[in-house]
């Protein structure tokens, strides 16, 4: 009887540990700390957080969608639906960001528009290449608005 209770407790403990592990991991094995880790040195983050998107969000969406799908080549890595599943995604480590924020980690809320602007323009040490030499400033701001729209169920419409 004692062995049976031990097996049940051990089995439940293993199931709980597995469940917690799955809950904390994204599809690509990144945990919340990795997802929310700052992408820039502290002095640059302070500057980025002070930056405000000068474009009205609604007006920027059409431009953002056009740049995302063409000139910015964002769709190649992040996919048409913004889920980080573009045709090049499997070849990238770490994988591209899932803009839909389905992990529950809240990266969209954790990042200011300025931080997203800097990630697009300057790139990051985690594989995002810099687009500041390829895109105009208003195109980058339009992309910020478009990236934000994925969280709200927009984006690929």
Q: Is residue 50 part of a domain?
A: yes
Between 30 and 146, the higher pLDDT residue? 146
Average pLDDT of span 38-50: 77
Let me know whether 93 and 114 are in one domain.
Answer: yes
- Cβ count within 10 A of residue 5: 9
Let me know whether 50 and 37 are in one domain.
Answer: yes
> Assign residue 97 a region: left if phi > 0, alpha if psi is -120 to 50, beta otherwise?
beta
Residue 88: C-alpha distances to residues 19, 74, 78, 79 (Å):
30, 10, 8, 9
Task: Name the pTM for this structure.
Answer: 0.73
> Alpha-carbon distance 111 to 12, whole Å?
37
**Cβ(26)–Cβ(35) below 8 Å:** yes
Number of domains in the chain: 2
Q: Is residue 118 part of a domain?
A: yes
Write b or e for each residue in 64-101: b if 16 or more Cβ atoms lie within 10 A of its Cβ, otherwise e.
Answer: bbebbeeebbbbebbbebbbbbbeebeeeeebbbbbbb
Q: Supply the pLDDT for residue 38.
A: 67
- Give residue-wise pLDDT tens across range 117-139: 999 999 988 889 999 999 999 99
Average pLDDT of span 101-109: 75
Let me know whether 35 and 16 are in one domain.
Answer: no
**Cβ(123)–Cβ(131) below 8 Å:** yes
Q: What is the residue range of 12's domain?
A: 1-27
Using a pLDDT cut of 90, give the percent of the chain over it.
46
Q: Is residue 157 part of a domain?
A: no
Between 144 and 28, the higher pLDDT residue? 144
Q: Where are the alpha helices (DSSP H) in the chain?
A: 2-24, 32-36, 42-49, 57-69, 74-78, 107-110, 113-122, 137-151
Q: Supply the pLDDT for residue 23.
A: 34
Q: Supply the pLDDT for residue 43.
A: 78
Q: Is residue 156 part of a domain?
A: no
């Amino acid at each position: 009887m004692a062995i049976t209770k031990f097996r049940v407790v051990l089995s439940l403990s293993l199931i709980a540990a597995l469940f917690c592990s799955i809950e904390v991991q994204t599809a690509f094995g990144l945990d919340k700390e990795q997802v929310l880790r700052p992408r820039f040195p502290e002095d640059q983050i302070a500057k980025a957080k002070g930056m405000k998107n000068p474009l009205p969000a609604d007006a920027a969406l059409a431009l953002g969608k056009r740049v995302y799908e063409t000139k910015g080549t964002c769709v190649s890595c992040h996919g048409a639906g913004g889920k980080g599943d573009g045709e090049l995604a499997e070849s990238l480590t770490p994988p591209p960001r899932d803009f839909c924020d389905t992990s529950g980690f809240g990266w969209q809320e954790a990042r200011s528009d300025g931080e997203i602007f800097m990630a697009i323009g300057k790139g990051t040490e985690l594989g995002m290449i810099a687009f500041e030499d390829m895109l105009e400033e208003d195109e980058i701001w339009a992309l910020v608005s478009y990236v934000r729209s994925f969280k709200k169920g927009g984006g690929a419409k």
